[in-house]
Amino acid sequence: MSFVCNHLAIIMDGNGRWAKKKGLPRSAGHQAGTEAAKRIVTACRKMGMQYVTLYAFSRENWSRPREEINFLFDLLVRFLSQELNMLVEQSIRLNILGNWEEMPFAVRQAIKHACAKSRAGKEMVLNMALNYSGREEILQACRNLLKQDLDPADLNEQVFRDQLFTAGQADPDLIIRTSGELRLSNYLIFQSAYSELYFTPTLWPDFDEEELHLALEDFKKRERRFGRVERIE
Ligand code: FPP
């Protein structure tokens, strides 16, 4: 039996190393990484995936040099304005995971505009994790629930999930991390409980449709039991 991947989440890692290998500045790696992101979003949409989630800026990324952060924000603003038509034409709704209100004015404006314009998208959701921390997401959910004076007996998984940035969405079926690092780095901590994980040494700017197919082929071979025993010999 093969499984369908409805929600693919990606940790796009290795832009800096890609640039270094080529003797280019880190910014060139991020630029090439953005091209890779466009390729993969388009490919996923063609495949009929329902959710694609990209880790574009973690809360921990604020500790990078100011110049690099500014470059990443400029790239993001450009990406959102240049790809907005594509998102609307392809019926892709943009959704942000993370505390994006803490980002600079230009980024906030671009996010608001792109989310509003793509709101009617029905075919796929593109989640972009921005200023995102999985642990902070869980703490925020707790804070919200405490404010609601919820009876502890009424707290169940569904009630909790409704407070997450991914409320109403299916959990990721597959999480891909590029560049050979073998960890989740605070990504979708609650939602990844039963996600399949795929790690590849390929650096993100080199990740293409062929690599995506390899990952999905690998995923299809997995036996997903969600803790159940399917048959007793
Ligand atoms: C990791 O590479 C990547 C990031 C910090 C952010 C991801 C950003 C992009 C792919 C570009 C922006 C994307 C969009 C869609 C606008 P790294 O810098 O950590 O690489 P390294 O570990 O090799 O140094």
CATH assignment of the domain containing 22: 3.40.1180.10
Q: How many domains does the chain have?
A: 1
**Cβ of 17 below 6 Å from ligand 1:** yes
Position of tokens 């569904």?
158
CB 71 within 8 A of CB 27: yes
pLDDT tens digits, residue range 58-103?
Answer: 999 999 999 999 999 999 999 999 999 999 999 999 999 999 999 9
Segment (H or E) for 198 = strand 196-199
75, two tokens: 């790239």
- Does 193 fall in a domain? yes
pLDDT tens digits, residue range 19-67?
Answer: 999 999 999 999 999 999 999 999 999 999 999 999 999 999 999 999 9
**Cβ of 76 below 6 Å from ligand 1:** yes
- Does 102 fall in a domain? yes
- Does 227 fall in a domain? no
Q: What is the mean pLDDT of the chain?
A: 96
CA-wise closest residue to 172 among 159, 156, 184, 158: 184
Cβ-based neighbour number of residue 59 at 10 Å:
19
- Does 229 fall in a domain? no
User: Could you give the C-alpha distances from 132 to 23, 26, 204, in angstroms and in order?
Assistant: 30, 22, 19
CB 88 within 8 A of CB 119: no
Cβ-based neighbour number of residue 133 at 10 Å:
19
| CA–centroid distance, residue 127 to ligand 1 (Å) | 16
| CA–centroid distance, residue 138 to ligand 1 (Å) | 24
**Cβ of 95 below 6 Å from ligand 1:** no
User: Nearest 10 degrees: CA dihedral of 144, 146, 152, 155?
Assistant: 0
Most informative mutation of 15, 75, 111 for ligand 1 (most atoms within 8 A of CB): 15
Q: Which residues are catalytic?
A: 13, 61
pLDDT tens digits, residue range 161-180?
Answer: 999 999 999 999 999 999 99
Q: Which range marks the domain in which residue 77 is found? A: 7-220
- Does 233 fall in a domain? no
Report the nearest-CA residue for atom 1 of ligand 1. Answer: 13
In 64-132, the DSSP E strands lie at 92-97, 124-132
Report the nearest-CA residue for atom 12 of ligand 1. Answer: 34
Position of tokens 């270094």?
20
- Does 228 fall in a domain? no
Beta bridge partners of 175: 9, 197
Beta bridge partners of 57: 130
pTM of the model: 0.95
CB 15 within 8 A of CB 72: no
Average confidence (pLDDT) over 116-135: 98
Most informative mutation of 10, 12, 59 for ligand 1 (most atoms within 8 A of CB): 12
205-208: list long-range contacts, CB under 8 Å, 24+ apart. 205/14, 205/15, 205/18, 205/29, 205/32, 205/33, 205/35, 205/36, 206/18, 206/36, 207/12, 207/36, 207/40, 207/178, 208/36, 208/39
**Cβ of 13 below 6 Å from ligand 1:** yes
**Cβ of 177 below 6 Å from ligand 1:** no
**Cβ of 15 below 6 Å from ligand 1:** yes
- Does 1 fall in a domain? no
How far apart are the C-alpha atoms of 58 and 186, rounded to whole Å? 8
- Does 2 fall in a domain? no
Distance of CA 117 to the CA centre of its chain: 20
